[in-house]
Copies of this chain bind each other. A is one copy, B any other.
Amino acid sequence: MKVLIVHAHPEPQSFTTSMQHCAVRTLEAQGHEVMVSDLYAMNWNPVASEADFGMRRNADYLVYALEQRENVAAQAIAPDIAAELEKLLACDLVIFSFPLFWCSVPAIMKGWIDRVMVSGKVYGGLRFYDRGGMRGKRAMLAYTCGGRDFMFGPDAVHGEMDLMLRHMLRGTLGYAGFEVLPSFVAYHVPYIANEERVAMLERYADTLAKLDQLQPLAFPTLDDFDSEMRPRVLAEQLGEQD
């Protein structure tokens, strides 16, 4: 298996970084090939802009997704994007490794998603969810947060964590066609003792060693929707009323 770890943390000694190192060790020990995109170390540019395009379909008005499609096809996309896209297309599993910033990924990682998950390859037209460009690949979030586990859940103060991350789990990874594995969440990290951190790393390594035993998240199948993306059942009911 080829694995891409997209990692972002502003402190190279962070526990999140230890988790990333743990993932590399564990996966390589299993015989997998691991590529790491360490976005802070790479000084990754997160800003989607006209500078990303070596040619322009429309030089007067920027439609970012359109120019992505055209520039990837013409091999004119910015070299930093092309290099990451090559890793993404080559891998069987992507792990996003990050500290939770405002219930989402840090901006530098959001900019990897905005710029690298290009229209035309990753999604486009009616290619999303189970027809998305990334089908056949798996993806997983592995993140740290300051909150405690009991603060997340149906009756908890912040509700369910997976709902907070729905824009990533469903709106990004599921939409792109990935089989999305359950997230690995390290809670309360800034406040816990070293032995608890060691136990978390062991739990993470154990999870990574048994990925095939994880039950992927469920998302819609486009079979349930018509070509306009209206629910088929509803469309049939409306038809009967004509």
Contact = CB atoms under 8 A, between A and B. Distances in A.
A104 B14 CA distance: 26
Nearest to A224: B157
A22 interface: no
A38 interface: no
Interface residues of A, number: 56
A199 to B, nearest CB: 21
The count of identical subunits is 2
B230 A150 contact: yes
A107 to B, nearest CB: 3
Rank and list the top 4 A-B pairs by shortest CB-CB distance, nearest first: A103-B171, A107-B111, A103-B167, A46-B107
A62 B107 contact: no
A127 interface: no
Contacts of A165: 167
Interface stretch (A47-55, A78-86, A133-141): A47-55
A110 B117 contact: no
B47 A157 contact: no
A107 B104 contact: no
Contacts of A156: 229, 231
A49 B151 contact: no
B164 A104 contact: no
